[in-house]
Amino acid sequence: MRDRMHPPRMSAPSCIVSPIEQLVIRPHNVPLLPTFHGMESENPYAHIKEFEDVCNTFREGGASIDLMRLKLFSFTLKDKAKIWLNSLRPRSIRTSTDLQAEFLKKFFPTHRTNSLKRQISNFSAKENEKFYECWERYMEVINACPHHGFDTWLLVSYFYDGMSSSMKQLLETMCGGDFMSKNPEEAMDFLSYVAEVSRGWDEPHRREVGKMKSQPNALHAKAGMYTLNEYV
């Protein structure tokens, strides 16, 4: 009776088909892997990119990169993500490509893709936003959804339409008024260039303002009084 009252210890079959090729996993490498918990705030594409970058530093001997990614990916999953992996159909994953496809299907569903695509196509500058700040924010949205499917000319068009009038004036001044004559790739490169140049203009101004704020008020100084900087 005692034996019947306690459930037998069993382990569910893995979803990963063990390849014939063998890989020795070194314990000191596992803590270096990034982790993914399955939270809404996490980006699955960013996780895969970081995971692959780390794997590239582990390559030893003749082990294939696909085998390494297949064997190590499960170590990066925690909490909800680990539960999901263990719920997959046994022996349904044969390659790292299969595993990543299922991973993205689960943690980057269609509604998330559509939301980011709307953010790209409806992008607009914020009030008093600098050109480079606007461009960086736009690129963050694009990089968050690398499978957006938009052609380059559309990406240029969405950003241009969303710029403020002062940004458009700056852009046209920088390129001599021929921005629209550029091909899509040239236009993207030029937008990045203008963002970088405009950042350089802003930095000296910030340093000068910071320097002025750190100086005591000249009038009060003569009277033996000093004004504390509220930003210090």
Matching residue, tokens 């960013």: 46
Q: Which amino acid is at 61?
A: G
> Strand, coil or helix: what is 93?
strand
Tell me the β-bridge partners of 16: 93
* CB-count burial class (<10 Å; 0-12, 13-18, 19+) for 85: buried
Residues 97 and 156 in one domain: no
Position 98 scores a pLDDT of 95
Residues 137 and 86 in one domain: no
Question: Could you read off the pLDDT of 182-228 as tens digits, one per residue?
Answer: 999 999 999 999 999 998 886 544 444 344 344 444 434 444 433 33
Q: Which of 160, 166, 159 is CA-nearest to residue 140? A: 159
Helices (H) and strands (E) in the chain, counts: 11, 0
Q: Which of 53, 76, 108 is the last residue of a domain?
A: 108
Within the chain, strands assigned E span: none
Please check whether residue 45 is in contact with residue 100, taking contact to mean a CB–CB distance below 8 angstroms: no
d(CA 99, CA 58): 20
Residues 63 and 150 in one domain: no
Residues 133 and 166 in one domain: yes
Q: What is the mean pLDDT of residues 64-84?
A: 94
Residues 58 and 159 in one domain: no
Residues 19 and 85 in one domain: yes
Question: How large a percentage of the chain has pLDDT more than 70?
Answer: 79
Model confidence pTM above 0.75: no
Question: Could you read off the pLDDT of 139-185 as tens digits, one per residue?
Answer: 999 999 999 999 999 999 999 999 999 999 999 999 998 999 999 99
Q: Which of 80, 108, 136 is the last residue of a domain?
A: 108
What is the enclosing helix (H) or strand (E) of 115?
helix 110-121
Matching residue, tokens 């999901």: 84
Please check whether residue 76 is in contact with residue 62, taking contact to mean a CB–CB distance below 8 angstroms: no
